């Protein structure tokens, strides 16, 4: 069953649907830019989020900074800089900035000049750490909040971060791939198993104010990776998409074990994204050990990457008039259609005119 009556915040039926507006709307959402473990104290990195080149740094006291990457002096990328004496130092002429982005020193000045320092403030963005990721929101005025996923913060569960993977395709391609249950037998023939049934059980789809959810009885796949006990235990699959791009899959096994996977394709450009992903495993899980689950998932994700990069165009068109819709007619495409429909509703309610 599918109900599309839910009205997303501030619906505006006159909003024009365009790639440009879709891009603008994404600027108002929290997006991951790094696994937190990859940004320890004293580390400086670069990341391209929605065509915006960022420097992201963690200072010695733990404070985080995300700012436009170009140094206000001569435009050198601050991602090539370092943390020196508790400040971010540009690699070129050594200008220094604190965690608020304020310029604290210009070594070539004979005497400190407050006016010059004030002019040299970095343009910074909201940044925070949660669920093992560093998140940035480019449009600070947006009210967007991260969804609540209790399993990711429950100390009794085992929470494992996957290595982020770059896809040469738009972020909507990755979400659709993640929602797709009929490609296993083909795209994942060497991992999830070529015996996987491309016919899918009846799905129960619910639309919520922040996205949608799909429940279906879904048998364990015939993968050599699954333990024999798991093979027999048919499981239940719940997929949740928090719009626009925070997706989870919850697998419940008949022996009581549960596993929650999260995928967030963080948009680098219109046609590329970095997939941040992690796995939460219920206490005393009787399946394969967590590290081997991650190793296996890397192989599966790489197969998904190849399929996403095969697709033309590189991004799913946001506007149905531009193609991409109408040819999706199999039951397996129902979830992708739900994603497109709800995403359009989300966009028309959120994107400024
Ligand atoms: Fe950064 Fe000169 S370009 S200090
Ligand atoms: Co796949």
Q: What is the DSSP letter of 163?
A: P
30 lines ligand 1 (CB under 6 A): no
What would the two tokens of residue 1 be?
A: 């069953």
Place 99 in a pLDDT band, splitting at 50, 70 and 90.
Answer: very high
In our burial notation (b when 16+ CB lie closer than 10 A, e otherwise), range 61-79 reads eeebbbbbbbbbeeebebb
Name the pTM for this structure. 0.91
Residue 64 has pLDDT above 80, yes or no: yes
Identify residues whose C-beta is under 5 A from ligand 2, the ion.
304
68-87, pLDDT tens digit by residue?
999 999 999 999 999 999 99
Q: How far apart, in whole angstroms, are the C-alpha atoms of residue 79 and residue 90? A: 8
Residue 110 burial by CB count (10 A; 0-12/13-18/19+): exposed, middle or buried? exposed
DSSP structure string for 91-106: TTT--EE-TTS-EEE-
Between the CA of 48 and the centroid of ligand 1 the distance, in Å, is: 20
Given a cut of 60, whether residue 328 has pLDDT beyond it is no
Strand-pair category, 246-253 with 235-242? antiparallel
Q: Would you state the pLDDT for residue 253?
A: 84
Q: Whose CA is nearest to atom 2 of ligand 1?
A: 93
Mean pLDDT of the region 323-338: 74
Q: Which ligand has the nearest atom to the CA of 71?
A: 1
Which two tokens mark 203?
């799905």
What pLDDT shows up at residue 352?
Answer: 40
Mean pLDDT of all residues in the chain? 88
| Residue 93 pLDDT exceeds 60 | yes
Q: What is the ipTM of this complex?
A: 0.97
Q: Closest ligand 1 atom, CA of 76? A: 3
Which ligand lies nearest to the CA atom of residue 94 in the structure? 1
- Are 34 and 133 in contact, with CB atoms under 8 Å apart? yes
Residues 6+ apart with CB under 8 A from 65: 55, 56, 57, 58, 59, 88, 97, 99, 100, 101, 122, 124, 127
Ligand 1 proximity of 92 Cβ (cutoff 6 Å): yes
């Amino acid at each position: 069953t599918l109900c599309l009556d839910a009205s997303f915040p501030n619906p505006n039926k006159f909003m024009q649907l365009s790639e440009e507006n879709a891009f603008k709307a994404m600027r108002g959402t929290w997006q991951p830019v790094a696994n937190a473990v990859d940004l320890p104290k004293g580390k400086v990195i670069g990341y391209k989020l929605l065509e915006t080149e960022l420097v992201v740094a963690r200072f010695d006291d733990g404070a985080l900074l995300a700012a436009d990457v170009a140094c206000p002096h001569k435009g050198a990328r601050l991602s090539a800089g370092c943390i020196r004496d508790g400040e971010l130092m540009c690699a070129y002429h050594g200008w220094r900035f604190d965690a608020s982005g304020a310029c604290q020193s210009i070594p070539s000045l004979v005497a400190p000049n407050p006016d010059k320092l004030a002019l040299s403030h970095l343009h910074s963005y909201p940044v925070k750490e949660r669920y093992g990721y560093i998140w940035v929101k480019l449009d600070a005025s947006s009210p967007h909040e991260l969804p609540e996923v209790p399993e990711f913060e429950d100390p009794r569960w085992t929470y494992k971060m996957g290595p982020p993977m770059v896809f040469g395709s738009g972020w909507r391609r990755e979400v659709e791939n993640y929602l797709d249950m009929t490609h296993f037998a083909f795209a994942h023939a060497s991992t999830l198993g070529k015996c996987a049934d491309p016919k899918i059980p009846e799905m129960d789809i619910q639309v919520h104010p922040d996205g949608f959810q799909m429940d279906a009885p879904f048998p364990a796949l015939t993968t050599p990776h699954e333990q024999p006990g798991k093979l027999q235990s048919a499981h239940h699959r719940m997929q949740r998409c928090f719009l626009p791009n925070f997706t989870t899959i919850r697998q419940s096994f008949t022996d009581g074990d549960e596993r929650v996977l999260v995928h967030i394709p963080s948009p680098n450009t219109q046609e590329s994204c970095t997939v941040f992903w992690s796995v939460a495993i219920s206490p005393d899980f009787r399946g394969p050990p967590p590290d081997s689950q991650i190793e296996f998932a890397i192989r599966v994700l790489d197969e998904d990457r190849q399929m996403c990069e095969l697709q033309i165009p590189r991004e799913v068109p946001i506007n149905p008039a531009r193609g991409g819709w109408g040819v999706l007619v199999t039951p397996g495409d129902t979830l992708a259609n739900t994603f497109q429909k709800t995403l359009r509703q989300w966009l028309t309610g959120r994107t400024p005119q």
